[in-house]
Structure 1
Amino acid sequence: MSVRLENVGIAVSDLDATVSFFTDLGLTLLGTDEVSGEWADTAVGLDGNHARIALLGTPDGHGRIELFEYIHPAAIPTGPTLPHEIGMHRIALQVDDLDAALEVAAGHGCLPLRGVADYQGVYRLTYLRGPDGNLVMLAEDLQRQTPADPEE
C-alpha cells in the first residue's frame, strides 16, 4: 500500500488573516471553497458541517496546508497548545532567510516565543504563534548549498 501526506489541516477563526500570514511567508494559495452537505457531515463527523476552506502549497510543490474556518457549527476556541502537550503540535516551515521570515511574521503580530536558537550550526530556528495561536516553527538550514555566483 502506498501512502503520501496530502496536507495538514488547521482550524482558524479568520481565514483571510491566516491565508495572508502564510502567503506573506511564501506559500501559494492554491484554491478556496465553501464546503457543506451530507458528504461533508459524513467525512468530518459533524452534523450541519459548513466551512470556508483554503488550500496553500509550498514553493517546492511538496507540502500543503488546508485552512478551514467554520461557519457551522460555531468554532470552539481553545487555549494555545503548549510545546509539551500531547496531540497536534505545530507546523514546521523551512525558510531560506529566517530574519526576513521573522519580519514578515512580526508584520502579522506574530513573534518568537522566546527567541532564535542555533541547533549545532545546522539550523537556526524558532517557534512562534500564528494568527490563531497555532504553533509555527520557522527553520533556516545553515548548511544548505547556495548556487555558485556565475561571476566567480
Structure 2
Amino acid sequence: MLGMAIRLENVGIAVRDLEETIAFFTDLGLTVLGRDTVSGEWADTAVGLDGNHAEIAVLQTPDGQGQIELFEYIHPDAIETTPTLPNEIGMHRVAFSVDDIDASLEIAARHGYHPLRGVATYHDIYKLTYLRGPSGILVMLAQALKQN
C-alpha cells in the first residue's frame, strides 16, 4: 500500500498570555502569519469543547518550514496545570535550530527565561539547552557546531 500524503501543519500551544508569548517568539525570530478569534459551532465540533472561544496567532520560522499556533482561551476558562517535566509522557517541547545560541539566550533572558540547567554540547555536533518559556512551555534551542 502506498502511503498517503501527510505534512505537519503546526504545533498548537495553549498559553496564559497571548501577547507575552507572541513577543517572546517573535524576538527569537518567528513572524506572525495571522491572528484571529475562533468561536462558534464549527469550533465546538472541531475542538470538542462547548462554547469554544479563543484568540489565536500562527507564527512561522524564518525558513518557512515550521509553524506554531498559539491560543489563549476566553471560554471555557483556561485550566492551569503543572508545567511538563522533560521525562513526562505527552506533548513535550518545541525545538528550534538557531544560528547563535548565546544571542538567543540573551533574548530569552530579556523576557525572564533561562536554561533549566545550562548549555550542553552533544558530540561536538550541537550546543543545546532547554528553557521554560511563557506559560511554562519547554523550549529547546540548538546550535549546530559543524556545517554539513
Q: TM-score, normalised by structure 2?
A: 0.97
- Which position in structure 2 is the counterpart of 1:68? 71
Deviations 1:6-28 (A, max 9, x none): 00000001000000000000001
- Which position in structure 1 is the counterpart of 2:32? 29
Question: CA–CA distance in 2 between the matches of 1:34 and 1:144?
Answer: 42
Question: CA–CA distance in 2 between the matches of 1:56 and 1:94?
Answer: 15
1:144 CA displacement: 2.3
Question: CA–CA distance in 1 between the matches of 2:104 and 2:145?
Answer: 15
- Which position in structure 2 is the counterpart of 1:7? 10
Aligned length: 145
Within a 5 Å distance, the mapping from 1:24-103 to structure 2 comes to 24-103=27-106
- Which position in structure 2 is the counterpart of 1:150? none
- Which position in structure 2 is the counterpart of 1:149? none
Which structure 2 residue ranges, 5 or more long, are not aligned?
none
What SS class does the counterpart of residue 99 from structure 1 fall into?
helix
Deviations 1:57-116 (A, max 9, x none): 000000000000000000000001010000000000000000000000001111000000
Moved over 4 A (4+): none
Q: TM-score, normalised by structure 1?
A: 0.94
Aligned AA (1:56): L
Q: 2:140 aligns with which of 116, 132, 137?
A: 137
Q: Report the identity percentage.
A: 72
- Which position in structure 2 is the counterpart of 1:124? 127
- Which position in structure 1 is the counterpart of 2:112? 109
1:143 CA displacement: 1.1
CA RMSD of aligned residues (A): 0.6
Deviations 1:99-150 (A, max 9, x none): 00000000111100000000011000000011111100000011126xxxxx
